[in-house]
Structure 1
Amino acid sequence: MRIALAQTNPTIGDFDRNMAKMKDIIDKTKSRNCDLVVFPELAVMGYPPKDLLEKAGFIEDNLQVIKGLIKDSKGIGVICGFVDRNTSSVGKPLYNSALLFYNGHILLKVHKRLLPCYDVFDETRYFEPGPPTSSIAYNGKDMGLTICEDIWNDKDFFERRLYSADPVEELVKGGAEILVNISASPYHIGKRNIRWEILKNIATKYKVLVIFVNQVGANDDLLFDGNSLAIGPDGRIVAMAKEFEEDVVILDTQTQKGETHPITQTDSESILKALVMGTRDYVTKCGFKKVVVGLSGGVDSSLVAYIATEALGNENVLGVAMPSPYTSKESMEDAAKLSKNLGIPLEIIPISKIFQAYLKELSSVFKGRAEDVTEENIQARIRGNILMALSNKFGYLVLSTGNKSELATGYCTLYGDMSGGLAVISDVPKTMVYELARYVNREGEIIPQRVLEKPPSAELRPGQLDQDTLPPYEVLDGILREYIEHSKSPSEIIREGYDPEIVREVIKKVERNEYKRKQAAPGLKITTKAFGYGRRYPIAQGYRGL
């Protein structure tokens, strides 16, 4: 049997576009003599649809698309994900479902049994868990069909299981020779290897062929890396699709040989491709064509400008430098050099006169008070207003340039440098920003070398450096990783060798600035725990745990 693994990049709710793409792949794989084509979880509507699932018309449209696919697909079997109604009077009204159909007939329907409700997942909000299912004979092979989380519960792999049932074990006991898993499994650093280990464990433990087909592309803050694959009973990868782009690979189940396409080799390469994909999809799926980036001459804005250029092309990126009285000549030179290296236009809009106008108008109110962070924030907010004015006038999307270290500690200005429609690197710690910038320059200077060497500074007052306010980033990022991504307590972090006073001060900053993060632009998730939908902390709360 020839099986096509078809990882698609759906736009949530764009049923016509999604259906047209699926039909095109069905026709092409049929012409390549495939017996079966497999699409990802909820391929008809895109994952995650969130509260669109509460709209009756949305559900009906998805069902009509499925009916159309079943009617029009001839001469090849199709597996794809969709949302089905729960006709019972008990339980949630919907199922996260999958169909196998051939020549106008439904051969198998399954409902997802294990519904994740952690981090970015919220499936129990909408879906009812499905009942146990059996495998089905297709082209002479017993095939079991599962959906994403259904394979993430093996008692020999997970130290603590979240569910009592193991759908994989039940299907194998029922005679399944091939296990198909359709997924919308989001990306984070290291996720690929975890998936490989889970799939390899299943394949070798049960001596079955495992086929995994994953969604690719970005939907809001979530990035999906694709990397669909098949693993044989001996644990070998026998077919593999690319990462971060749509792809189709074909597997011959008789020979257990298939197409294997190249994948990323380092974390830096993987992260950059994820961010480029995420930026491109967010911008284009939201209906924008061009973006504007404020260029300070620092490493963060330099990296964001590079990502935007890779995602959209240099003709669709505008750089804007907005020097203040405290902007150094070197920063302006670096911004200009970066723009030239990237081939993007650079507008220079000085803010000194606007800043002085603010100070003049506020002088009577501020009388008798020394300058402080207020005047620094005014400069940041002037810049934010200029970028938003350009966005309004020309229809460009503003990309904000703050990193995770700044967002965590509140070292950013609400309605200032936080202004924008997408926070491209808000889940990238500062030390990782430097790593990515060096990777960008691996074959020649794109980001000016001086940007990587000079001490980071917001340049909002004379002689200002980030380290006047924050610990060294190597220390700060280590503490933030343990506290945010690993959920460790202050005492646990201190026992790892960090200075107790620094740990307590960093965590105070994190807790004090939750209100800022609630008002931040959506950010692309690349770590195990990002600020946003998957990290839900109250703003008004008294627990500190210090």
Structure 2
Amino acid sequence: MKNDGFLRIAAATPHIRVADCVSNKAAISALLRAANEQGVSAIVFPELCLTGYTCGDLFHDTTLLQAAERALQELIEESASYHLLAVVGLPAAFGASLYNVAAVFCRGKLLGLTAKSHIPNYSEFYEARHFSPAPDTPIPVTFCGQETLLGRERIYSCADAPEFTVGVEICEDLWVPEPPSSRMAQCGATVLLNPSASDEVIGKANYRRSLVRDQSARLFCAYAYADAGEGESSTDLVFAGHDLLAENGAILAESQPFTTGLVTAEVDLQRLVQERRRANTWADRFGGPAPIPFSLSLPDLTLTRPFARLPFVPQDAQDLSGRCEMILHLQASGLKTRLAHTGVQHAVVGLSGGLDSTLALLVTVRAFDALSLPRKGILAVTMPGFGTTGRTKGNAEKLAELLGVDFCTVPIGDAVSGHFQDIGHDPTVHDVTYENAQARERTQILMDLANQNGGLVIGTGDLSELALGWATYNGDHMSMYAVNASVPKTLVRHLVHYAAQQSGGALCEVLEDILDTPVSPELLPPVDGVISQKTESLVGPYELHDFFLYHMLRFGFPPSKIYRMALRTFSGTYDAATIYKWLYTFYRRFFAQQFKRSCLPDGPKVGTVALSPRGDWRMPSDASARLWLEELEALSIE
């Protein structure tokens, strides 16, 4: 689909005058024109907005009904030059019945009339006094000089972009136990439009917002809700014009109370379709009425929609604290269950003084505390090698002491040097053999110490490293339980920071210094005692890789779309060439390193994105990256 699936939609509340169709048409016309200029492809106006919702018994007056039809006809004619689909509410009489309808039109053509199915007649509502519910089967009618169908649950599909399929329900239809939108979505509608006239009373806005948000989540859809506002009669009610735009459980935009005008947002139809395909409990409905086709040239969009820079990390501080506590609890609970099941009361953690091993130790301590096991049953092992600095080694010692766990130091320099001599490797050549020999020696030590103590080796590697294959095969990528396996690097940092804030004192100081230490495997000799090997200089910034990983695995987005989203998100931080370089690196490494993920140890899933070969990600180790890399190579770098 053009624009990588992004589509701009709008909800609009015009300032109306009750029963003044000429004035109301002019107000709607101005908003239609503004929407078209802003690249909106679908717009919905409030229920009965051409007449006003609060006309009362005037709805039976022929003069009003004819004026509303004339006004709609003028709007339809004006729309001939617009590249958008519009939904406008008005009363329409056919035979002995009067219907509350939403007229759906596009480029000068009246596509259909969706009539309201559920007519409220309780509390302040008395619509049954005037309106009949939608007929069970569509009926052919002539309206505004055009032949069309009037009915319920009609859907409209764009011939130029099949993902752009629209369903319409009116106000109360959303509030009932089985909304028509549920069936329309199952028949293919990805965009649901609701012309509404919901009066305002205390507490109703929150309920309305929840209703729209939750329906968009259940249906994996975009939902636009246009509410009546200024100009409606205030004889008994007040209308606030509460317009809402939601997508898949998130409110993208909403109007301020008691205002009029346009509310716009970009929705991602490609994401919605992917979500439906991903959920095998989603069931399409077949055999219903054929969608009504319309043709629309989608405008080129300059994205204004924000994307989370750190998609794995909540942006709200309170949400972040709650998320961190929950993740630590999930990690510790997973390890606790494994320890209880095996009857093991000892654990071994390789403690480097870096972020990942720090988090693994914090989780292990939590699990032991939950089982009422003594912390001395945890053995933290630091294994200084050729690249270890005094800073990281010192932090490892302090951390183990402050947490009250057992601690030992096992230098690996002599053992690795002896191994180099055994295999005939020149130790002055700092190649992959030089680095990986250290990682494998450390894993051997941990495994042997675990055997000596009757314990489990706790893995420290995180999700980002697994995605990039930034781990030594049969080295640090192997353990007996990998507590960090589904925690991305950008989130590891926040978890350790949360633990620091919760602890305070000397432990907080150590954790904050660990947070301030550059991410490094420390496999190359330091320079003047300072870490010389910085991971992000070699494989790229983790905030970029986690962004790529999230959108690739969570939504199956193609490289070109992820690149476009990254350009917008990281503008001012990374230039286009840098983003492209690391995105290409990400795909190349992700495919090439699958063999390491195919034999991962067990570990707890904590988020929606994980790479366990037993559950979330099953990919052949010899899958080709050609299609993805060729798509990137075809891009024009901005």
Using a 3 Å threshold, how does the CA distance of structure 1 residues 284 and 157 change in structure 2: closer, same or farther?
Answer: farther
Query: Secondary structure of the residue that 1:469 maps to in structure 2?
Result: helix
Using a 3 Å threshold, how does the CA distance of structure 1 residues 440 and 161 change in structure 2: closer, same or farther?
Answer: farther
Residues 550 and 609 of structure 2 are in contact (CA less than 8 Å); yes or no, is this contact kept in structure 1?
A: no
Q: CA deviation at 1:537?
A: 0.7
Deviation sequence 1:395-444 (CA, Å, 0-9, x none): 10001100111111011111111121111111111110000001001131
Using a 3 Å threshold, how does the CA distance of structure 1 residues 368 and 453 change in structure 2: closer, same or farther?
Answer: closer
Q: CA deviation at 1:448?
A: 2.6
Residue 418 of structure 1 is matched in structure 2 by: 477
Amino acid at match of 1:489: P
1:515 aligns with 2:587: no
Identify which range, 281-290 or 487-496, moves more after superposition: 281-290
Residues 350 and 383 of structure 2 are in contact (CA less than 8 Å); yes or no, is this contact kept in structure 1?
A: yes
Q: CA deviation at 1:392?
A: 1.7
1:342 aligns with 2:398: no
Amino acid at match of 2:336: R
Q: Distance in 2 between matches of 1:278 and 1:339?
A: 22
Using a 3 Å threshold, how does the CA distance of structure 1 residues 416 and 434 change in structure 2: closer, same or farther?
Answer: same
Query: Secondary structure of the residue that 2:349 maps to in structure 1?
Result: strand
Which of 621, 633, 638 is the matching residue for 1:539? 621
Query: Secondary structure of the residue that 2:539 maps to in structure 1?
Result: coil
1:384 aligns with 2:384: no
Could you tell me the TM-score, scaled by structure 1's length? 0.51
Which of 470, 493, 496 is the matching residue for 2:539? 470
Q: Distance in 2 between matches of 1:269 and 1:540?
A: 38
1:310 aligns with 2:366: yes
Q: Distance in 1 between matches of 2:452 and 2:367?
A: 23
Residues 321 and 498 of structure 2 are in contact (CA less than 8 Å); yes or no, is this contact kept in structure 1?
A: no
Using a 3 Å threshold, how does the CA distance of structure 1 residues 526 and 159 change in structure 2: closer, same or farther?
Answer: farther
Q: CA deviation at 1:468?
A: 2.5
Q: CA deviation at 1:370?
A: 3.6
Using a 3 Å threshold, how does the CA distance of structure 1 residues 423 and 454 change in structure 2: closer, same or farther?
Answer: same
Amino acid at match of 1:520: L
Query: What percentage of residue pairs aligned between the two structures are identical?
Result: 31
Residue 440 of structure 1 is matched in structure 2 by: 499
1:456 aligns with 2:456: no
Q: Distance in 2 between matches of 1:158 and 1:281?
A: 42
Residues 292 and 396 of structure 1 are in contact (CA less than 8 Å); yes or no, is this contact kept in structure 2?
A: yes
> How do 1:156-167 and structure 2 match up within 5 A?
156=181
Query: Secondary structure of the residue that 1:441 maps to in structure 2?
Result: helix
Q: CA deviation at 1:161?
A: 5.4
> How do 1:9-408 and structure 2 match up within 5 A?
156=181, 266-313=322-369, 314-363=375-424, 366=425, 370-408=429-467
Residues 351 and 383 of structure 1 are in contact (CA less than 8 Å); yes or no, is this contact kept in structure 2?
A: yes
Q: CA deviation at 1:455?
A: 0.9
Q: Distance in 1 between matches of 2:364 and 2:426?
A: 43
Of structures 1 and 2, the larger Rg is shown by 2
Residue 503 of structure 1 is matched in structure 2 by: 583
The root-mean-square deviation of aligned C-alpha atoms, in Å, is 3.0
Q: CA deviation at 1:543?
A: 4.5
Q: Distance in 2 between matches of 1:341 and 1:478?
A: 35
Which of 509, 524, 528 is the matching residue for 2:608? 528
Q: CA deviation at 1:297?
A: 0.6
Residues 405 and 476 of structure 1 are in contact (CA less than 8 Å); yes or no, is this contact kept in structure 2?
A: yes
Aligned length: 300
1:490 aligns with 2:559: yes
Deviation sequence 1:110-155 (CA, Å, 0-9, x none): xxxxxxxxxxxxxxxxxxxxxxxxxxxxxxxxxxxxxxxxxxx998
Using a 3 Å threshold, how does the CA distance of structure 1 residues 442 and 489 change in structure 2: closer, same or farther?
Answer: same
Q: Distance in 1 between matches of 2:551 and 2:457?
A: 31
Q: Distance in 2 between matches of 1:333 and 1:440?
A: 19
Residues 463 and 487 of structure 2 are in contact (CA less than 8 Å); yes or no, is this contact kept in structure 1?
A: yes
Deviation sequence 1:265-312 (CA, Å, 0-9, x none): 721111111111111112222332221100001011011101100111
Query: Secondary structure of the residue that 2:601 maps to in structure 1?
Result: coil
Q: CA deviation at 1:316?
A: 2.7
Q: Distance in 2 between matches of 1:450 and 1:307?
A: 19
Q: Distance in 2 between matches of 1:436 and 1:474?
A: 15
Using a 3 Å threshold, how does the CA distance of structure 1 residues 315 and 493 change in structure 2: closer, same or farther?
Answer: same
Deviation sequence 1:30-57 (CA, Å, 0-9, x none): xxxxxxxxxxxxxxxxxxxxxxxxxxxx
Q: Distance in 1 between matches of 2:489 and 2:544?
A: 11
Amino acid at match of 2:537: D
Using a 3 Å threshold, how does the CA distance of structure 1 residues 265 and 330 change in structure 2: closer, same or farther?
Answer: closer
Amino acid at match of 2:437: I
Q: Distance in 2 between matches of 1:321 and 1:421?
A: 18
Amino acid at match of 1:410: G
Amino acid at match of 1:487: G
Using a 3 Å threshold, how does the CA distance of structure 1 residues 523 and 353 change in structure 2: closer, same or farther?
Answer: same
Amino acid at match of 2:516: E
Residue 187 of structure 1 is matched in structure 2 by: none
Q: Distance in 1 between matches of 2:563 and 2:416?
A: 43
Residues 264 and 270 of structure 1 are in contact (CA less than 8 Å); yes or no, is this contact kept in structure 2?
A: no
Residues 591 and 623 of structure 2 are in contact (CA less than 8 Å); yes or no, is this contact kept in structure 1?
A: no
Q: Distance in 1 between matches of 2:358 and 2:408?
A: 15
Residue 101 of structure 2 is matched in structure 1 by: none
Unaligned runs of 5+ in 2: 1-177, 189-212, 219-318, 370-374, 526-531, 568-578, 630-638
Amino acid at match of 1:478: F
Q: CA deviation at 1:371?
A: 3.0
Amino acid at match of 2:556: S
Query: Secondary structure of the residue that 1:346 maps to in structure 2?
Result: strand
Residue 150 of structure 2 is matched in structure 1 by: none
Could you tell me the TM-score, scaled by structure 2's length? 0.44
Q: Distance in 1 between matches of 2:214 and 2:338?
A: 26
Q: CA deviation at 1:157?
A: 6.0
Query: Secondary structure of the residue that 2:343 maps to in structure 1?
Result: coil
Q: CA deviation at 1:158?
A: 9.4
Amino acid at match of 1:465: K
Residues 462 and 489 of structure 2 are in contact (CA less than 8 Å); yes or no, is this contact kept in structure 1?
A: yes
Deviation sequence 1:219-269 (CA, Å, 0-9, x none): xxxxxxxxxxxxxxxxxxxxxxxxxxxxxxxxxxxxxxxxxxxx9972111
Deviation sequence 1:503-540 (CA, Å, 0-9, x none): 11111111111000112211211121311122111112
Identify which range, 492-501 or 340-349, moves more after superposition: 492-501
Q: Distance in 2 between matches of 1:421 and 1:404?
A: 16
